[in-house]
Structure 1
Amino acid sequence: MFKNTGLTIFIFLFSFSIQLQLYGQGNELSTSDSLIHKKISEITVTGLLSDKLNLTYLVVEGKKALDDGDITPGDLLDGLPGISIERDGPWATTVNIRGFGESKLLFLADGDRMLTATDVAGALSTVNIGNLEKIEVIKGAGSVIYGTGAMGGIVNFVSKRPKYSDKLSSSGCLSSGFHTVNKLWENSLNVDLTNQNWYLALDGGYRKAQNTMTPVGVQTNSQFNDASWGVRGGMRNGDNQEFLINYNHFEALDVGLPGGSAFPANAVVRYLEFKRNQLSGEYIFKDLTDVIKSLNVKIYSQNIKREVENIVAAKNVAIFPGSLNVTTGAKATADLYFNDYETMTVGIDGWHRDQETSRLKIAHPTSDTIYIKELPTPKAQVLDVGIFAQHKWVIDPKHWTMSTGVRLDFLRTTNDTAFTEIAKYKYVDGKKVSIPFNKNARFLADTKNEFAYAAHIDFSYKPRESHQFIFSLANAYRVASLEERFKYIDQSGTPMIGNPDLKPEKGLFSNLSYKLTKNKFSLNTNIFANYVFDLIGVVENDSYQGVDGSVFKALVNTNVDRAMYLGGELDFRWLIISDVILEGNIAYVYGFDAITKKELPLMPPMHGELRINYALPAIFTLYAETEWDYDFSNDDSSENHSFIILSAGFYTNAFSLGKLIQLQFVGGAQNIFNTAYKEQMTAARGINRLEPGRNFFVKAKLMW
């Protein structure tokens, strides 16, 4: 269905590759005898509204996506301190932050909620990594900013936007690359038109990949195809008003899903179609009064549609589940300036999610073919309206700062009655013939109203200019999602059942950080302790009883006691000599049931990275990296997820082809020794599935 763009540019260069940057440092290494540091207070995180609070977060430059061999946003974030990848396939990836999985994290596209089912990964992969300005990541409680869903952290993907120019001008970038591990061809194009009072940015991308090679052979059903395009515009009205508009479309076809806990081990599953559409408009007022420094008003709509094919040959069954999630929202925020020591952000934020699902089963129990229509979840909606305020007080400009925040939310969840089956039929001589079906109710129509609140306080202390301590304390909450309340997933395995009576998850989060910033060395450390009440998990129930009185074995969402998460992170950057930089990180989190003291399932292992960079000024940069995991769990040694992999690579500086055009090359290899390993957070669905093997990649960028 996708057409080849014909824009493929490639040059095979032999070298090695690693992740280009750990986070937020850009791609050009300093050639001076000092490091350039980006302090927390200097980072503007408008999408996350966090500039008033000292939150634990990272900023990943979008430039890394084009210059590295990463294929998905999950790959791009994997290995950052406290972040681990969760994978249902080479395309379908998500992340885990400090032990909190996808269902307990909030994902945003340009500040807009990306809401869909979380039992199978996919939403993150609908972001065009070729058009990213940056990725903002908050680690820990984010409910005080965005309310429910942001219990364990927030990930915000920020698209590229050009700057206004004094005269009409045009610029752009054409990128093309090839990966050997899955014969992936990737192409992206960005074109910007700018003027003094307006700009227009266009982007597009196309990728096609075959099955992925592992160290022991081909990983079947791991192919994918996707394409995207978007347009962003901006217009200024004088010096203090600006209007922004944003539209993004993403479409993936024939995406293999070799993993995914929702499916039986012997099934062949793929996304037939996965689409995301996003539209937003924002109006910004600046310097309205001496107190109101800015006022932002934004509305947005985002829909995510997916159609799945699940072939269970052993049972002669084909299952076709599908869903459409439409999220609309609006928010207004104001930045208030009282004096040089006190500032505040206040606002109101509201959103509405509407979900519709379907499932068609085609069974061959005898010579007849039977068609059964079901609803994985009933038609349901959730409405959330919240008000928030964040205050920053500079107690002592040289030493002390205190920040506080609070948010109040009202949530309403409604659902229709859901029946076990809604239709059953077969075809006789080409005519559709109805068959008696199970009309028992699975979930009854209901409405639930809930109130929630979140608060945050932190203190920043700088005993000296190069030293900073930050202590933060916050509470967070997460109301059960529509899937956790109402799902009925039956993919010809053990059914997964929701629970309408789930209580919200609540938690207390604390973090102590220390930052050291010197001319040639920087260090950042975090230790944290998080306590979660009414943790929502999955419990196997051999005698689950539905509302219709039926009794069967099922995996049921349940509030399971209390949990404690303890951990720490460290990362550093050291300019050893001019043009040689050593950097690395290490992170570990231990989660356990606070009552039974048993380790929580699906906790990431200890992870570390060490990387060295050498820059030959104005020509190229070489780098090498080792990445390792160490698994402390008590699992059988055959399932131990400890490993060490080595990667290395290069990227050139851009060189001119005439006055207007520049060319840059990137290339390398990942997993140089073709090490066979499994990521602990990867859902294996009972299959002995390995991570990708050795991958050589090369990219070329043409800029003007």
Structure 2
Amino acid sequence: MHRLLRNVCLILCWLMAIPVSAQRIISGTVFDENKEPLMGATVSVKEKVTLGTTTDTQGKYTLKLPDNREYTLQVSYMGYISQTHKVSVSKTGKVDFILKEDAVNMETIVVTGTRTPKLLKDVPIVTRVITADEIKKVDATHIGDLLQAELPGIEFSYSMDQQVSLNMQGFGGNAILFLVDGERLAGETLDNIDYNRLNMDNVERIEIVKGAASSLYGSNAVGGVVNIISKVSAEPWTVNLNGRYGAYNEQRYGGTIGFNAGKFNSVTNVQHTQVDEKDLADGKTNEETEDWAFKKVYGDKTWNFKERLVYTANDHLKLTARAGYFFREREKSQTSKDRYRDFSGGVKGNYVFDKDKDLEIAYSFDQYDKSDYLPQDANDVRDYSNVQHSVRTFYNHTFVGKHILTLGGDYMRDYLMSYQFANNGSKHQYTVDGFAQFDWNPTKYFNVITGLRFDYYSDSDINHFSPKLGLMYKIGNCSLRGSYAGGFRAPTLKEMYMNFDMASIFMIYGNPDLKPETSHNFSLSAEYIKGRYNLTVTGFYNIVDNRITTAWSEALKGQVYTNISNIKISGAEANASAKYPCGLSARLSYAYTHENIKKGQPVISSTRPHTATVRLEYDKHWKNYAFNIALNGRFLSKVNTEEYTSNTSYEETEKVTYPAYTMWKLTLSQKVWKGVDMTLAVDNLFNYVPSRYYNNSPATKGTTFSAGLSLNIEQLFK
């Protein structure tokens, strides 16, 4: 009996030891070229997609390989060239990495242009990436501040009632799709989403694809896609507190708490902003301000809460849950305030069958409400609510390690209650789509990507196919890209059913018989990369059919939504950048845009033909102190256009000129001690003040100053 028990114990011990002995531990440190450790670098296993880790504050990592097979370790870090290392059979011990700087960010992994992870240098669709480092140097609060500083061809201006409108190389806000981690946003005002929702706190990078992207993203993407990618928690725990104070009592306070413990990863972010009313007419007479479009800028305050929790169940399954709340109050007057609220949430599951196949299924919810708040009565009257429920599935299959087939589909229920409908009524519809894409890589020099998307909209009974084709060929240091994409935008519920009294001047009516907008987008580009230099030149041509706008109807004695004949938008863009070992770097971007609109159409172009952005900066690092000084400028040319002088006729116009102007911002960022960063900024450096304020002029009274402080609490204890 004693011998039997001994043998059983030996067998059990041997069985328990099998998985332990099969596991191998690989550890090491990730350095830069100066042998400084890189915190937050990603170390992953190519053959096991869900197996990976990030480096700690000392650049160290530890990985447990599950068995005695050969594996490939891959290390990536924003701003550095990725590196791989094969770990031979039964190899254990130490593997260090030294990463070289990626001077022009071409080793950044992006997802928006193809919906599959690819290095920026290998994407056949022209994609611009704004990194977290660039966001910090611009010192932007929300997406509008950042895009205008970084990209030419973009202008955020005021429309009626000081609502913000976007123009991106001839396309308005209803043609540019904004995403947060790939998810759509509900709500709009005058065809634009609430850009205040898109704050820049805790953002990893922003990916911008200009031109039609409907074959991947559907309606509202005929002019491009802007995808905001959030940061993930890399350390066991992180706490960031930040604040900024500027002119007109502009205040910004933010905080992020993250933890990475075993199978759980969480990031919680809170931000509050406020700014007082700005009186632009202070000291001016009524005669001097008679032709101004606005004389003051309303005060504003916001609260933004975001939470994302990731649970990695095993090597195959990862679950992500997110939730958010947004509140904005606009100080329109002492007797009335505009309030905006948003509630969002979602769950997503990623399942990896093996290194060649993975599946994603997601559900998302977004509700955007507007209300009028009357302080004297403490009465908050909700008069607008847009609710979207979406279900999405996404499947990737890789053939022979390099050709990728992508299949997907979406279902969305769209509900809208609006003060612009008769009797504050409501409407709803559902949309269904499916898409397929094949990424063919016959050689490392040649890439072809082709796709087709089908969309169906229930209320308008519209269905549409959107094709896409992209080609890329590499010759030495040069990459040539060409693409064609078919764009599509279905009429919205507002455009079909609007019944709105416009300040008792005239009515605006919807049109349920509207046709969808379609477009044909052609693009050619050449990119040259050598060492620390990058030059990209792109030409594009868009044909937009059945653009939806409003026109006067004699029969209805009001304006009605209608389709107009085609509009042609063409242009070119050039970007040049350089970065030197001494810490000096520069970027210059220029865009030319031309809109061809037939005379007499009920739409007038206000797109500036020439725009440019420039950034000059200098970096210097020591052990406990570092600084960056950056000069950002943007130039917008004058535009000669027409303005309507009648609400009932599109023949009655007068010529106007929006003058050219330049705006410059100087930012000094300093790391004064471990975990402590300070930012000082001078905006409108050369004190530009418009002679009159119109919708397309900057709402500035001259030079302003701001100061900010950021604390990474976890670094203070290390």
TM range (shorter): 0.7 to 0.9
Once residues 328 and 440 of structure 2 are traced to their aligned partners in structure 1, the CA distance between those partners, rounded to angstroms, is: 47
Report the 3-state secondary structure (helix = DSSP H, G, I; strand = E; otherwise coil) of the residue aligned with 2:512: coil
Q: How many residues in Structure 1 have an aligned counterpart in Structure 2?
A: 586
Match of 2:607 in 1: 603
Higher relative contact order, structure no. (Cα contacts within 8 Å, ≥ 6 residues apart): 1
Once residues 148 and 120 of structure 1 are traced to their aligned partners in structure 2, the CA distance between those partners, rounded to angstroms, is: 13
- Displacement of 1:321 in angstroms is 7.5
The reply to whether residue 247 of structure 1 matches residue 314 of structure 2 is: no
Once residues 595 and 345 of structure 1 are traced to their aligned partners in structure 2, the CA distance between those partners, rounded to angstroms, is: 43
Report the 3-state secondary structure (helix = DSSP H, G, I; strand = E; otherwise coil) of the residue aligned with 1:490: strand
- From 446, 464, 475, give the equivalent of 1:463: 475
Match of 2:448 in 1: 402
- Displacement of 1:74 in angstroms is 1.3
Match of 1:535 in 2: 547
Match of 1:295 in 2: 359
C-alpha contact 2:139 2:667 (8 A) present in aligned 1: no
Once residues 179 and 129 of structure 2 are traced to their aligned partners in structure 1, the CA distance between those partners, rounded to angstroms, is: 14
- Displacement of 1:236 in angstroms is 0.8
Report the 3-state secondary structure (helix = DSSP H, G, I; strand = E; otherwise coil) of the residue aligned with 1:112: coil
CA-to-aligned-CA distance 1:530-577 (integer Å, 9 cap, x gap):
001111122233x242xxxxxx2x232210101100011111112367
Match of 2:516 in 1: 504
The reply to whether residue 76 of structure 1 matches residue 154 of structure 2 is: no
CA-to-aligned-CA distance 1:460-506 (integer Å, 9 cap, x gap):
01111x10010001111111111111112324143322211110011
- From 289, 306, 313, give the equivalent of 1:237: 313
C-alpha contact 1:376 1:487 (8 A) present in aligned 2: no
The reply to whether residue 665 of structure 1 matches residue 678 of structure 2 is: yes
Match of 2:465 in 1: 453
Once residues 396 and 323 of structure 2 are traced to their aligned partners in structure 1, the CA distance between those partners, rounded to angstroms, is: 26
CA-to-aligned-CA distance 1:626-665 (integer Å, 9 cap, x gap):
3211124245897423112232121013522xxxxx1000
- Displacement of 1:308 in angstroms is 4.1
Match of 1:518 in 2: 530
Compared with structure 1, are the counterparts of its residues 55 and 119 closer, same or farther at alpha carbon in structure 2 (3 Å cutoff)? same
Once residues 79 and 300 of structure 2 are traced to their aligned partners in structure 1, the CA distance between those partners, rounded to angstroms, is: 29
Structure 1 window deviating more from structure 2 (224-233 vs 269-278): it is 269-278
Match of 1:615 in 2: 619
CA-to-aligned-CA distance 1:258-283 (integer Å, 9 cap, x gap):
xxxxxxxxxx9975210111101011
The reply to whether residue 125 of structure 1 matches residue 134 of structure 2 is: no
- From 89, 108, 127, give the equivalent of 2:179: 108
Compared with structure 1, are the counterparts of its residues 284 and 411 closer, same or farther at alpha carbon in structure 2 (3 Å cutoff)? same
- Displacement of 1:134 in angstroms is 2.4
Match of 2:498 in 1: 487
Once residues 593 and 454 of structure 1 are traced to their aligned partners in structure 2, the CA distance between those partners, rounded to angstroms, is: 24
Compared with structure 1, are the counterparts of its residues 332 and 634 closer, same or farther at alpha carbon in structure 2 (3 Å cutoff)? closer
Once residues 693 and 501 of structure 1 are traced to their aligned partners in structure 2, the CA distance between those partners, rounded to angstroms, is: 48
Counterpart AA for 2:341? K
CA-to-aligned-CA distance 1:99-145 (integer Å, 9 cap, x gap):
11011222223222213234165522123322322222221111111
CA-to-aligned-CA distance 1:23-47 (integer Å, 9 cap, x gap):
xx9799xxx99762333x7523269
Once residues 336 and 487 of structure 2 are traced to their aligned partners in structure 1, the CA distance between those partners, rounded to angstroms, is: 35
Provide structure 2 residue ranges, at least 5 long, that are not aligned to the other structure: 1-76, 81-98, 285-294, 643-653
The reply to whether residue 157 of structure 1 matches residue 239 of structure 2 is: no
- Displacement of 1:231 in angstroms is 1.4
Once residues 335 and 139 of structure 2 are traced to their aligned partners in structure 1, the CA distance between those partners, rounded to angstroms, is: 26
Once residues 304 and 310 of structure 2 are traced to their aligned partners in structure 1, the CA distance between those partners, rounded to angstroms, is: 21
Counterpart AA for 1:670? D
Once residues 496 and 598 of structure 1 are traced to their aligned partners in structure 2, the CA distance between those partners, rounded to angstroms, is: 14
- RMSD between aligned alpha carbons? 3.3
Once residues 424 and 562 of structure 2 are traced to their aligned partners in structure 1, the CA distance between those partners, rounded to angstroms, is: 17
Match of 1:4 in 2: none
Report the 3-state secondary structure (helix = DSSP H, G, I; strand = E; otherwise coil) of the residue aligned with 1:145: helix
- From 363, 374, 395, give the equivalent of 1:334: 395
C-alpha contact 1:215 1:694 (8 A) present in aligned 2: no
- Displacement of 1:602 in angstroms is 3.1
Once residues 565 and 692 of structure 2 are traced to their aligned partners in structure 1, the CA distance between those partners, rounded to angstroms, is: 28
The reply to whether residue 699 of structure 1 matches residue 708 of structure 2 is: yes
- From 642, 659, 664, give the equivalent of 1:646: 664
Match of 1:8 in 2: none
Counterpart AA for 2:124? N
Report the 3-state secondary structure (helix = DSSP H, G, I; strand = E; otherwise coil) of the residue aligned with 1:302: strand
- From 242, 247, 252, give the equivalent of 1:175: 242
- Displacement of 1:184 in angstroms is 0.8
Compared with structure 1, are the counterparts of its residues 599 and 504 closer, same or farther at alpha carbon in structure 2 (3 Å cutoff)? closer
Once residues 482 and 127 of structure 2 are traced to their aligned partners in structure 1, the CA distance between those partners, rounded to angstroms, is: 14
C-alpha contact 1:216 1:676 (8 A) present in aligned 2: no
Once residues 699 and 90 of structure 1 are traced to their aligned partners in structure 2, the CA distance between those partners, rounded to angstroms, is: 31
- Displacement of 1:55 in angstroms is 2.4
CA-to-aligned-CA distance 1:376-431 (integer Å, 9 cap, x gap):
7642112111111111111322x211110111122101xxxxxxxxxxxxxxxxxx
Compared with structure 1, are the counterparts of its residues 599 and 82 closer, same or farther at alpha carbon in structure 2 (3 Å cutoff)? same
Q: How does 1:320-399 map to 2 (within 5 A)?
A: 322-358=383-419, 375=422, 378-397=425-444, 399=445
Compared with structure 1, are the counterparts of its residues 696 and 520 closer, same or farther at alpha carbon in structure 2 (3 Å cutoff)? same
Identical counterparts, % of pairs:
18
Counterpart AA for 1:480? P
Provide structure 1 residue ranges, at least 5 long, that are not aligned to the other structure: 1-24, 258-267, 312-317, 360-373, 414-447, 546-551, 657-661
Compared with structure 1, are the counterparts of its residues 481 and 458 closer, same or farther at alpha carbon in structure 2 (3 Å cutoff)? same
Once residues 90 and 50 of structure 1 are traced to their aligned partners in structure 2, the CA distance between those partners, rounded to angstroms, is: 41
Counterpart AA for 1:303? Q
Match of 1:13 in 2: none
CA-to-aligned-CA distance 1:67-86 (integer Å, 9 cap, x gap):
53433311211141332223
- Displacement of 1:678 in angstroms is 8.9
- Displacement of 1:90 in angstroms is 12
Report the 3-state secondary structure (helix = DSSP H, G, I; strand = E; otherwise coil) of the residue aligned with 2:496: helix
Once residues 477 and 450 of structure 1 are traced to their aligned partners in structure 2, the CA distance between those partners, rounded to angstroms, is: 11
Once residues 48 and 213 of structure 1 are traced to their aligned partners in structure 2, the CA distance between those partners, rounded to angstroms, is: 46
Match of 1:436 in 2: none
The reply to whether residue 191 of structure 1 matches residue 195 of structure 2 is: no
C-alpha contact 1:87 1:121 (8 A) present in aligned 2: no
Task: Find the structure with the greater CA-based Rg.
Answer: 2
Compared with structure 1, are the counterparts of its residues 484 and 377 closer, same or farther at alpha carbon in structure 2 (3 Å cutoff)? farther
Report the 3-state secondary structure (helix = DSSP H, G, I; strand = E; otherwise coil) of the residue aligned with 1:235: strand
Once residues 386 and 221 of structure 1 are traced to their aligned partners in structure 2, the CA distance between those partners, rounded to angstroms, is: 42
- Displacement of 1:198 in angstroms is 0.8
Once residues 269 and 604 of structure 1 are traced to their aligned partners in structure 2, the CA distance between those partners, rounded to angstroms, is: 38
Once residues 89 and 600 of structure 1 are traced to their aligned partners in structure 2, the CA distance between those partners, rounded to angstroms, is: 16
Match of 1:204 in 2: 270
Question: TM-score, length-normalised on structure 1?
Answer: 0.76
C-alpha contact 2:397 2:406 (8 A) present in aligned 1: yes
CA-to-aligned-CA distance 1:554-613 (integer Å, 9 cap, x gap):
232210101100011111112367211121111121111268799942324411122211
